[in-house]
C-alpha cells in the first residue's frame, strides 16, 4: 500500500470539463505562460492545492489581459462568472453580496477561465466561517532586509508557535517574503485567534526592536521585517499554497520543508515552470501532515 506521505508520481492529473476560451492568451509575457499553460499547471498541482482552496470563501485577483494589464481584487461574485464557481452567503451577514467558492477541479479551471491569477482563501472553511483552521503569519521584509534575516524570522515564528502547542509549516510567498502557517483544530473564534497572533507579533517586535515591527507604518519598516498578523482576521485572506502570483516571473507560493530554507532558494524561486518537476521529484510532500498536525488554540500567555 502506498504511504499517504509519498508524492504521487504515476497518477495522471484528474480530468477537467471546463472549456477555455482564448487558451493561447498570454498571462505572463516574459515566461510565455498562457491561459492553457495555467490550466495545465493547476491540473498538475490539483491534489496538493485542493485542501487549501476547496470549500472556503475566496478572494481572487483577476487580470483578464495578463499581469501587465488591469487587475481586480475581488471578494465577491461578478457578472458572467463561470458556472463551476459557486456563490456562498456569509451566514453572519445575509445582506452582504455573495462570496465565491469552488468544490472541485472544474471550479479551479473555472477560475482560470475567469482570468484569476491569484487565489486568496479565508483561513476558515464554509463548514465553520467563525473558527479558523489555520494561522498565517506573513513576514514582510522592508527595504534592505537580507534573505537570511527572513529565514531567521520564520524560524523564530515557528518556535513561538511550537511554544504555544502549535505545529508550523512554511511556504514562500512567491513575492518578497515567507508565510508561516499553523494548522488549527477549529475551536477558537476569529477574535481570539487574531489576539493570539497580535500578541505574538508584538512580542517579537518588543524582544527584537532592531529586527521586527508589528505595526503597518511604512516609515518604521526600513531594514526591518513586518510581522503581519492581520491575515488572521475575519474576512482577511492570504495567498493560497501553490497559487500563482500576478507578478513578473510567474512565481508561485510554494510549501517547503524547513530544511529547504537556505540561500539556495528565495521567496520567488518556485514558478509555474519548475513546480511540476519539483513535485515529481519529491519523495515526501513537506506539508503532508498539515491537516493531521492541527491543534486547538489555547489561551494567550502574557509572553505571546
Ligand atoms: P509578499 O511576500 O510580497 O508580501 P504576500 O502575498 O504576502 O507577498 P501581498 O501580495 O502584498 O503579500 O498581499 C497581502 C494580502 O493583501 C493578500 O494576501 C491579500 O489578501 C491582500 N491583497 C492583495 N492584493 C490586494 C488588493 N489589490 N486589494 C486588497 N487586498 C489585497
Ligand atoms: Mn507578505
Ligand atoms: Mn503582508
What's residue 218's pLDDT?
Answer: 65
- Indicate if the pLDDT at residue 248 is higher than 80: yes
Q: How many CA atoms lie within 13 A of 111 on its CB side?
A: 31
Cα–Cα distance between 176 and 174 in angstroms, integer?
7
Query: DSSP alpha helices (H): ranges in the chain?
Result: 35-53, 105-113, 147-163, 190-207, 275-281
What's residue 50's pLDDT?
Answer: 98
Which residue from 58, 74, 179, 238 has its CB within 8 A of the most atoms of ligand 1, so it is best to mutate?
Answer: 238
- Indicate if the pLDDT at residue 217 is higher than 80: no
Q: Helix, strand or coil for residue 251? A: strand
Cα–Cα distance between 134 and 235 in angstroms, integer?
14
Cα–Cα distance between 5 and 290 in angstroms, integer?
11
pLDDT tens digits, residue range 120-141? 999 999 999 999 999 999 999 9
What's the chain's average pLDDT?
Answer: 93
What's residue 79's pLDDT?
Answer: 83
Q: How confident is the model at residue 196 (pLDDT cuts 50, 70, 90)?
A: very high
What's residue 74's pLDDT?
Answer: 96
Q: How many CA atoms lie within 13 A of 245 on its CB side?
A: 22
Please list every protein residue whose CB sits less than 6 Å from any atom of ligand 1: 59, 73, 120, 138, 140, 173, 175-177, 237-239, 267
Out of 3-17, 94-108, 203-217, 224-238, least confident range: 3-17
Ligand 2 ion: nearby residues, β-carbon < 5 Å = 138, 140, 177
Cα–Cα distance between 18 and 9 in angstroms, integer?
25
- Indicate if the pLDDT at residue 304 is higher than 50: no
Give this prediction's pTM.
0.94
What's residue 1's pLDDT?
Answer: 41
CA of 229 to the centre of ligand 3 (A): 8
Q: 15-28 b/e with 16+ CB inside 10 Å = b? A: ebebebeeeeebbb
**Per-residue DSSP letter, 169:** E
CB 252 within 8 A of CB 137: no
Compute the Cα dihedral for 274, 275, 276, 279 and give only its sign: positive
Out of 12-16, 213-217, 233-237, least confident range: 12-16
Helix axes 147-163, 190-207, angle to 10 degrees: 130
In this prediction, residues 213-236 reach a mean pLDDT of 90
CA of 238 to the centre of ligand 1 (A): 7
Compute the Cα dihedral for 290, 265, 136, 61 and give only its sign: negative
pLDDT tens digits, residue range 22-31? 999 999 999 9
What's residue 302's pLDDT?
Answer: 44
Cα–Cα distance between 226 and 148 in angstroms, integer?
15
What's residue 298's pLDDT?
Answer: 86
Q: Cell for 259?
A: 530544511
Cα–Cα distance between 106 and 84 in angstroms, integer?
6
- Looking at the chain, the whole-number percentage of residues with pLDDT higher than 70 is 93
CB 161 within 8 A of CB 167: yes
**What ligand 1 atom has the least distance to the C-alpha of 177?**
2
The length of the chain, given as a count of residues: 304
Q: Cell for 261?
A: 530554507
CB 174 within 8 A of CB 256: no
CB 224 within 8 A of CB 210: yes
pLDDT tens digits, residue range 145-184? 999 999 999 999 999 999 999 999 999 999 999 999 999 9
- Indicate if the pLDDT at residue 199 is higher than 60: yes
Q: Of 192, 201, 186, 198, which Cα lies nearest the Cα of 295? A: 186
CA of 125 to the centre of ligand 2 (A): 22
pLDDT tens digits, residue range 250-281? 999 999 999 999 999 999 999 999 999 999 99
What's residue 3's pLDDT?
Answer: 45
Q: How confident is the model at residue 303 (pLDDT cuts 50, 70, 90)?
A: very low
Amino acid at each position: 500500500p502506498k504511504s499517504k506521505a509519498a508524492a504521487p508520481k504515476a497518477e495522471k492529473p484528474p480530468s477537467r470539463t471546463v472549456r477555455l476560451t482564448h487558451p493561447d492568451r498570454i498571462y505572463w509575457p516574459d515566461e510565455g505562460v498562457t491561459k492553457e499553460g495555467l490550466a495545465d499547471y493547476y491540473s498538475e498541482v490539483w491534489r496538493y492545492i485542493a485542501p487549501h482552496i476547496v470549500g472556503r470563501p475566496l478572494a481572487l485577483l483577476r487580470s483578464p489581459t495578463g499581469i501587465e494589464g488591469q487587475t481586480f481584487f475581488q471578494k465577491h461574485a461578478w457578472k458572467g462568472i463561470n458556472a463551476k464557481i459557486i456563490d456562498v452567503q456569509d451566514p453572519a451577514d445575509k445582506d452582504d453580496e455573495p462570496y465565491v467558492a469552488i468544490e472541485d477541479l472544474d471550479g479551479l479551471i473555472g477560475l482560470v477561465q475567469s482570468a484569476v491569477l491569484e487565489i486568496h482563501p479565508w483561513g476558515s472553511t464554509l463548514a465553520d466561517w467563525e473558527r479558523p483552521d489555520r494561522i498565517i503569519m506573513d513576514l514582510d521584509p522592508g527595504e534592505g532586509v537580507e534573505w537570511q534575516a527572513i529565514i531567521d524570522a520564520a524560524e523564530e515564528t515557528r518556535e513561538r508557535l511550537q511554544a504555544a502547542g502549535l505545529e508550523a509549516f512554511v511556504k514562500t510567498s512567491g513575492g518578497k517574503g515567507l508565510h508561516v502557517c499553523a494548522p488549527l483544530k477549529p475551536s477558537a473564534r476569529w477574535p481570539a485567534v487574531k489576539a493570539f497572533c497580535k500578541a505574538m507579533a508584538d512580542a517579537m517586535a518588543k524582544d527584537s526592536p532592531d529586527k521586527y515591527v508589528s505595526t503597518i507604518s511604512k516609515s518604521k519598516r526600513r531594514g526591518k521585517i513586518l510581522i503581519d498578523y492581520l491575515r488572521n482576521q475575519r474576512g482577511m485572506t492570504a495567498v493560497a499554497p501553490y497559487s500563482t502570483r500576478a507578478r513578473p516571473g510567474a512565481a508561485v507560493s510554494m510549501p517547503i520543508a524547513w530544511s529547504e530554507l537556505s540561500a539556495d532558494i528565495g521567496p520567488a524561486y518556485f514558478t509555474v515552470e519548475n513546480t511540476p518537476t519539483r513535485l515529481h521529484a519529491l519523495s515526501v510532500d513537506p506539508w503532508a501532515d498539515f491537516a493531521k498536525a492541527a491543534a486547538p488554540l489555547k489561551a494567550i500567555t502574557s509572553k505571546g
